[in-house]
Amino acid sequence: MKKVFLFSFSLATLVACSESGNEEMSATNESNGLSDDNADDRVEEIDESELNEAEEIAMDFIRYVRDIDRYRFEFELGPNELDHVVEYTDLSGEDMLIRTKIDSEGSPGATYQGITADYAITYQDYDNTYHYDDMTEEEDLTGAEILFWADGIEENIKESSLTYEGEEEINGAMAHKISDLQGNEYWFNQDNPMLLKVSLQNFDIVTTIIDFEEVEQFEEGFFQLEDVIPDDAEEEHPIGLEEEDEV
C-alpha cells in the first residue's frame, strides 16, 4: 500500500493562508478519494461512452498523469506574490517522495524541501540553515500537485460539471479551456494531455505550468537534499527542543 502525504508547496501555502481553506481542502480530498491505491479502478468507474468534449479532454490528462512514476514539474503560483516552484515526485515505490525548490518574490534566496515517508527536511540557502519535521500519515490526502488536480477533475467528470469554454493561447501554446461549476478553470495543452494553467477560485490561486517531463531515475539521497545542503550548514531545532535534550 502506498503511503500518501499532504505536503505539496501550493497546498501548504493555502493551508497557511486560511484555516477555513484547510477544512474545505480536506473535505474535498476526502470526498474525492485521493488515496493512490485504486486510481485505475476509479477511472474505470466512469462511462467514457457518454463523455462530452470537456470530459474527454480531462480524461486524457487523468490517464496520462496516473501512468507516470517519476517526473519533474515546474510552475509559477500567483496572481499576487509570485512563487516559482520546481517539484520532483517519485511514485514508483511504496511511499511517495517529493522534493521542491521554491523561489518566492521578495525572498533573498531559495527554499528547498525534501519529503520522505518519515520526515520532511527544509533548507534555506540564503541563511544556510536546515531543519527536520516528522511526517504524519494522512490516509486520504495527496501531496503531489498533479495528482491533486487529477482527482479533483475526475470528481467533476463523475458529477458531469465540466464545460468546454473554447480555445485560448497560454505562453505561446494553444489550449482547450475548461471550467467547472465552482468557477475553477483549467487550460489543457492541445499538443499533449498536460495542463498549461489552473485557476482555483476558492483560494484565489493561479498556477501556470512552465515545464513537465518524465524522469527515468533519481540519484540516491536526492529527496534527502544531499546534493543541496553543504557540510557547513547549520541545523535549526524547534524552540524548546534543545533545552529538553539537555535536561
Interval 181-194: pLDDT, tens: 999 999 999 999 99
Residue 175 has what pLDDT? 97
The β-bridge relationship of strands 234-235 and 129-134 is parallel
- The answer as to whether 29 is a domain residue is yes
- The answer as to whether 187 is a domain residue is yes
Looking at the chain, the whole-number percentage of residues with pLDDT higher than 70 is 73
pLDDT at 146 over 70: yes
Contacts 24+ apart (CB under 8 A), 214-218: 214/68, 214/70, 214/71, 215/70, 215/71, 215/72, 215/88, 215/90, 216/70, 217/70, 218/70, 218/88, 218/90, 218/97
- The answer as to whether 1 is a domain residue is no
pLDDT at 239 over 70: no
pLDDT at 155 over 70: yes
| Per-residue confidence band for 45, with pLDDT thresholds at 50, 70 and 90 | confident
- The answer as to whether 4 is a domain residue is no
Rounded distance between C-alpha atoms, residue 51 and residue 58, angstroms: 10
pLDDT at 69 over 80: yes
pLDDT, mean over the chain: 80
**224 backbone dihedrals φ, ψ, rounded to 5°:** -95, 5
Per-residue pLDDT averaged across 131-140, rounded?
A: 69
Helix axis angle, 9-17 relative to 19-32, nearest 10°?
130
pLDDT at 79 over 90: no
Domain interval for residue 180: 9-246
CB 222 within 8 A of CB 99: yes
Residue 64 has what pLDDT? 92
pTM (2 decimals)? 0.76
Highest mean pLDDT among 63-67, 80-84, 203-207: 63-67
pLDDT in tens, 21-44: 334 434 444 433 344 444 455 555
The CATH number for 25's domain is 2.50.20.10
Domain count, the chain: 1
Three-state secondary structure call for residue 61: helix
Helix axis angle, 145-158 relative to 53-65, nearest 10°?
150
- The answer as to whether 3 is a domain residue is no
